[in-house]
Structure formats: C-alpha cells, structure tokens
Structure 1
Amino acid sequence: MNEPAPSAGRAPTVADVLALPVLAAGQPRVVAGPDRLDRPVRWVHITELTDPASFLKGGELVLTTGMPLPDDTTGVRRYVDELTEVGAAALVIELVRRYHRPPDALVQACRARGLPLVTLARDVNFLEVTQVVHALLLGSQADAMRRTQRIHEAFTALTLRGAGAQDVVRAAAEMSGRTVVLENLVHQALVCEPSGCTVQEALTGWEQRSRAAGAGDRTAVGGPAGWLTAPVSYQGEHWGRLVMLPGDGPAFGPEHVTVLERTAMALTVARLIHATPWEHTAHRAALRELAEQRHSSPEDARARCAALGLPAQDGVFLAVLVDSGPGGAGTEPETLLHRELRSAGVPALVGELSPGRLGILAALRPALPWRPVAERVSRGVLKLLPGATVGVGSPVADLADTARSFREAARVLEATPPGQPLPADRSFHELPDIGLGRLLYALREDTRVQGYAERRLGRLLDHDTRHGTDLVTTLGHYLDAAGNKTAAARRGGLSRETLYQRLRTIERLLATGLESGETRAELHVALMALRGPGAGRTPPPDR
C-alpha cells in the first residue's frame, strides 16, 4: 500500500503518522496534547516495558497495548515523566486488551506534561505500523540527502562562476522559499530578496527588529520574531549576518540551516573575489532603482532606503550627479563623500550609476536650506576630483519623485561641455544655467539639429573648405554684433569695404538677405549648433 508522504524538507510529524491508513484504521483519538501534534517523529518504538524511556533517544512514537502500565497513580506519573524527559514524540495506547477507556491518571499526567496521548479503538498491527513509518522515515532521509546535495552543488556552481552577493542571496531565497536578507554590523540591510512578501513587508523597521533579534556567532533561530540567522565573516573577522525570515510555512528545518550556512560560505568567497564593498553595491543598486524608477512600488523604495540608513519620510530629497571624466571615479570618492556627509549630519546614498558618473541622494530636513548642502557636496567632489562636473537637480518632497530630480541633474550634465566655467556664486551647475548655447550642445547628437545646421550653413562651409576663406567666422562676427556692421568690422579686424564684400558673398551663397532679424536668428542658432556653447562670442583680435 502506498502511504502519503509528509511535506518535502521535513520529517513526518505526529499528525502525519496518525493520518497514515495503517494507523487511521485503528480510529485514533487524541485525548491529550492536541496542540503538539506538529512534533517530528524520528522513529517508532513498540514497548511493553514499565520503563521504556531507557531504550529511547528522543523523537519516538511509542506504541503500547497498555499492559505494562502501573496500576497506581504515582507509577503512571513516573512513566509519563520519563517519556517526557527523554523527548518522546507521543504515546499511542491500544484500547483493546487491558483497557477500553484510557486511565484518568494517564490522561491527567500526559496533559500536565504536554505529552500527546492517542488512543486506538480498534486493533492495529504495530509491526506493520513500524514498517510503514520507518520506510517513510528512510525515504524522507534519502530525499533530504539528495536535496542537501543539490544545495551544495548549486552554491558550488555560484562560487565557481564568481557570483556576487545579490545572486547568492537570490539563490538562497529561491531554494528556501523564504525571504533572505544580508545585513552589516550596524544592521543596515544591504541585500534583500523577498519570497512570499514585499520588500516593504520584509524591511519596514528593519534596524529595530534586527537589534531585537539579538546577536550570535553561530546559525540559530532567535529573537521574538523567530529569525534564522547565520554569521558572515570576511578575512577571519565577523562582518555581518544573514537573516532568513520565518514566513507562513512550517518551522525552520535542517535544509533551511544548510541553505543559510552555504550562503554565508559563498558570500565569504564572493567578498574576496569582488573588490567593491557591499555597502557601495547596495547604495548603487538603490540609487539606480530610484533614478530609473525600477522599484516595484514607492513603499518598497522607502523601506529599502530606510533599511540602508536614509530617512525616507518627512524630508526633502536632493539628487546630485557627478561626471568624473575618463577612467571613472573608483570607490574611494564614494567612501570619502559618504563619510563627509555623515559627519555633516546629512544622510545620503552615494554610488556609481555608470562608468564615470557618480550619483548622490541627500535627505534633508524640511527646514534646512538645500543650496548650502549642494555647495558642500560639490566642493567635496571637486576637492577629490578636480576635473569633475557637478549637476544638481531640484529638491523634491517625496522619495518617489527623486527620479525627476535625477533627470534634471542629468540634463544639466548633458548641457555642460568639458571646461565650462562655473557660475560666480557656486561650484555646481543647475537647470537655470542652461541657455540656448548649452541647450544646443546637449542636442548636438540629434540628427534633426545637425541637419538644420547643415541646411543653413552647408554652402558656406563648403566654400570656405574649397577656397580657403573664413566666411563662417565673418558671419559669426556680424551676428554677434546684432547686424551692426561697424562693430562687426572692428571685431573681425576688417575694413568696412572688406566686410561689405564678404557679407554680399555670404548672402549669395546662402540665397538669403541678412537684414531680416528672423533670418539672422536662424543663422545664429545654426552657427551655435555647429560650434557649441560660446561659438557666437568670438573674441576680438589682438591689437
């Protein structure tokens, strides 16, 4: 007969065994300990001894006909006490031969000690029960061994391919079906892979919950929430820990412990392989999710940022982007900037968003002016990276809106050419700084802008190339002077007659007059698009 198996990943419980047809045929009835039927059954033991506890090791389902039970109440209590102290899973008594109802002393003793007592109203073949349950146990153990082997193989493969912390923690969550979190020693959640819940549910109030769970130097279940935790080491020192949240499933079992311990080992290797500190990786991931709006919900984003130490409620948020130039900034500026902001009392996430581009998200108190903070950040950046360009977005009042601030900062950088002078009153650039010339610079790769400039000035450029003339420069002087020919001639170091002759040639080549303000505006825009910011402001020649 095929018997139903318990859920994968755990030993059968008392309830599982009672549901087996071989025992169900005896009409089992639980008369004591109905709330403890989730105890695991490690073995089945048939006994007719008055002191069976001396042959037990714990976890056994004890089967008896009741023949050896003492007649006196004291003896019955001692019998139950010994079974309880050795850790028996349950006592099953057959009400066929000696008893037709369970003795009151036995029921009371079992209830007092919390030992499940089950009666069988009909005759049951105890030998068949042991055969079925032991086969079930052995099969479960074999399955557990195979699953454990698969766990080891999976983490070995992750280690061999150099997986990072995110991949390792994600694998742990998938294998266990539980939410897994990697935190550092100051209880910041650096990696969170939810399973069966949202990031918000997993991380809300993380630091307080984590501290309440207590600390430990070994894998164990602890704290009021019953977290399973395992320490994570780096170069022989305690670095942080892994946390597996209980979820709605059964209690943690040996496989959960195996998964968490193998995860910790894989993370230790990953930390040695990957030079970037996990704190930096966590900040980068959070910043990219905010800047690109890749988070699943605003609530998840707030919970993730708060778990990294960034206040996510009742504040003002400011995005700062830094183009560090060729070669990128590396991890040192991230560390130093984060440290400087923290010492200034400004919580912030700092991380590289792409090669050569650094992102900073500062959380400010609503009453705190944002410009001094932006100035402090930009000066710190320029001190570390003298050739960098700093763009600042507008402050926003909701963390979910920080993508807008990041977009504004990105537009500022796109419109800021290398070497662009800083404003006189500050060391960063912002949206109001972008005039027509810088706007056209930002659009320089747009084929529509390129096509427009070529249509308006192409003939003039071709003529200069073929004949070695410099009519484009002359046109620039004229347009810069707003059509004032005397000022244009002086600016170009030309006589008025020469200037007039060149302007007539320009009008012929472009097939348009230069007296119209609209025409001059169109040509000026084309010239600025062609040469970039400041192209129309050609300096006068040296005298």
Structure 2
Amino acid sequence: MSVGIPVRWILSQPELGLVLKGGAAGLGREIALALTSELTEPQQWLSGGELVLTTGMGLPLSRPDRLRYLRDLDSVGVVGVGFGVGLSHPAVPEDLVEAADELGLPLFEVPLPTPFGAITKKVMQRLAEQEYEKVLRASRSQPRMTRAAIQGVPAVIKELSAALSATAIVVGADGVVTDAHPGPVSAEIIDKITEFLGTRGDGAASGVIHTAPDVFIAVQAIAAGPATHGHLAVVTTTTLSPVDQVLLGHASSLLALDFEKPARLRIAQNRLNTQAIAMLLEEPTALDTVWAHLTPAADRAGRVRALVLRCPSAETAERVVEAVDTRLATQSRQLFAHLAEDRAAILLAGTDTEESAEQLLRSLPASVRASVRAGISAPHPLRRFAAAIEHAELAASAAPPGASPQELSARAGHSLLTFPEARRVLGAVSEAMLAPLVGYDERHDTNLVDSLRAYLEAHGQWEAAANALGVHRHTLRSRIVKIESVLGCRLDTARVRAELLLAVIARR
C-alpha cells in the first residue's frame, strides 16, 4: 500500500511543540507531503495528501472567505493545516477552528520558535523511513513466498495477503475463483474482475480497477510465455506502491511456475502416448508393457474409438490436436494422438459418443473447424485400435468439411463415391456398361438410361418406377425389354441389377 503518515504522528513529536486546535476527527488522515503556502487560493496547485503550513499572510479577511479557504483545501484532499502564530496572527483565528471541527480537517498551532522547515524535515524523514521499511518487509516477504511455493497456490497467496494486508484472489483461466485469502470474496468484487477481464479481451490482461473511494483491485496475469493460466488479484484500500507491485509480480511469477508444472508433465505424458501409438502401429506384437501404456485411453470394458481429423495442412493438424488436448485437460483426461502430416488420429474411450467427440473441437475458430473433415470409428478392443483408426480414416475421407464426426456406417448410400479410387473405378465401369444404352438414347431420342435408373431404384416395382417417370407401367415394361436387348443382359438377376445401379449412380 501507499506510504503515508497519520497527522496524529506529527503532533506527537514533542520537540516541535505543535498544539491541535480543531478537526480532531481527521487525525487519522495520512500525510504524503508537507509544504508551505501563503497563497489565498492554494487549492489550485494541490492534488491531495498535503500538509499545508501557513502563517496566514494570505488568509482572507472576512469570516465567510476564511471558511471558504478551509473548505477549498479540504475539498482537494489536504489532510491538515499547520498555522504559524506570532507573525501575522498572534493566535489561530477562532472561525478557522470552528470550520476545522465542522470539516474534520486537523488544524494545529505552530509556535513561533518552530520553523516550518523542521516540520517538513520530520515528515520527509518519516516518509523515507516508511519506504525503507516497506523495502525491508518486501525483502523478507519474497523469500517467504518463494518457500511457500513448495506448498502450492494457497500458501503463496496467504503470504501475499499478509505482506500487503490485502485480500488475495486467484482466478483460473476459465474465469472461476479457485483460491482466496483471508476469506471468501464478495460477488461484487468477482463481478468487477470478470467484467474487467471480459472488456479487455486479452488473456494476459493486467491493470487496476477502482470500484469505490476506498476499494482498489489490482489484477496481474499469471502467464508463462504465450500461456496464460489465470489472473492474480489483490483488493486494497489504496493503490499499490512500487514495492507492493514488485511483491504482486513476484507472487504472480511463482504461481505461473506452479501452474506450469502440470502443463509440462502433460506435455511429456502426451509425447510418451504418441510414441507408444506409433510403436504399436509399426509393431503390433510389441511388449505388453507398451500396450499397458495405452490402457488409460480405453473404457472399463477395454474398448476405444478412433477420431480421425483430416486437415488442410500439417500446421492445422497440430493446432487441432492442441485444441483437443486443452479440452481433454479440463476433463482430467490424457491425450493419445498420432500425427501424420495433415492427418490426426486420436484415441477416445469406447463410451465416448459422436457428440462428445464434436465437443472436443468446439474451441477451434470457426474458419479452422469448417476446413476439417472428421470421422469416428465404432468401439473396438484396445488391441485393435489400428483397425479403429483405419475405419475412422475412411469415415473422415467421406465426410464433408466442417461436419460432425460420424461413423462410416452412418453415411451408407453416400460414402462410396466420396473416395477418389472408388470414383475412378466406378466411372470406368459406368462408361463401359452404359455406352450402348447412351448411344441408343442419342440416336433415337429416347430416355432409356433414366428409365433404367428409376426401375432399379424402385427395386423392380413397376408401379412405383412408372409413377416416378410419369409414364404408364406398360410403357415402362416395353422400355425395360428394349434395355435388356440393347445391353444383352437380364434384369431379373440381382447381381446384374446391383452393378447397373452403381453404374447409373456413378454416371450421374
């Protein structure tokens, strides 16, 4: 907190011989500076915290003006007035004494033998002593906070609270208060901090919130490099001094180190999980100890699901995996991932759903999420996780960009032609099989290809197919006979119908 000297302290110095005349209610006001002024309106050059010393040479003559003089000093934050007697005034004017009592502004008599310089010197010496005492307290508090860091966050903020005589609060990265000392924090204070962090729009925001005349909230980001783990706030009755700010910064650094410990451990754990997956993909017959390393990825029944994410680039894939890791960390779950250029494969528990898989991706920027193809496998035994990844890979290849993760079976009827290899083969088959029919339609201006498709999609039901084409069923029967003649096949064979259906779908 800021340095200041109570007015009562200067009055208690016997060698100065000062005598209080009025304004006893304000003896707790704190002096930040002592100065001499004989101006009639000195308030224009004052900013608060001053002890004004005067002989009354510039004091107005009328009673109303004298009262205004004292009120003006009080209004700008002057903490006391020392009135020197024996020169322009033999005693402190009674009207000033009455006004001082009314305002609670300490007014004391300075005897003629006491120079104003002696009072100023006393004040400056005491302020210097207080500054030194604060530095000394800080030098003692810093080692205590450092030792407390071994015990964790609560111990650090307890030491900070004691050092600053303030309430210390830790707000997590999610905006929730995780620790406070010496006791619970009011909802109003929490709302002010939340509002401040929200309006700044910066994860590493720091600053001071002035909520009331005697309430200040200093906020400091708990950050290590680009990562912000939350914020440290202290609630005080005055603004923090430079020394106090050093203590706040020291505590913030200690908390950042404490938060970084699990983050670094998680990074190491993720790296081991990735290496185990890579090893088992290359050598499935690896030691049981390697398989055991993947056990936390499975559910209680020993099953896993694979979530495969196809991204526009390797950089995007890394970014997506980081986002998934962040969401898993909030659930106290490990990350089991395998990156291969622009593809990311992540092992989830067998009990995870398509919705919970989508939740892992919701922190991604909309533009990034819209570019990612996601596929998920059905639950597989842990030892068959490679097959789960393969199935999820096929589902991701068939999925539209930005769509929620789905199993390949959920895209039945839509997935086959999404694969480039399948499209190439089916395209060639379609061209070869349907070429005679297409040529016949072109030469005779008929519609046999569309009639064939309607017939096949209606499962050979004449009435349904005819209705779809808008023709009579007898007309459709004659067209089917012509199709069989042109193609040289019989449509009453299921295998023939299946191949022709794929051919007409591929052609379309």
Please confirm whether the aligned pair reaches a TM-score higher than 0.5, indicating the same fold: no
- Report the structure, 1 or 2, having the larger helix content: 2
TM-score by length of 1: 0.40
TM-score by length of 2: 0.43
Larger Rg: 2
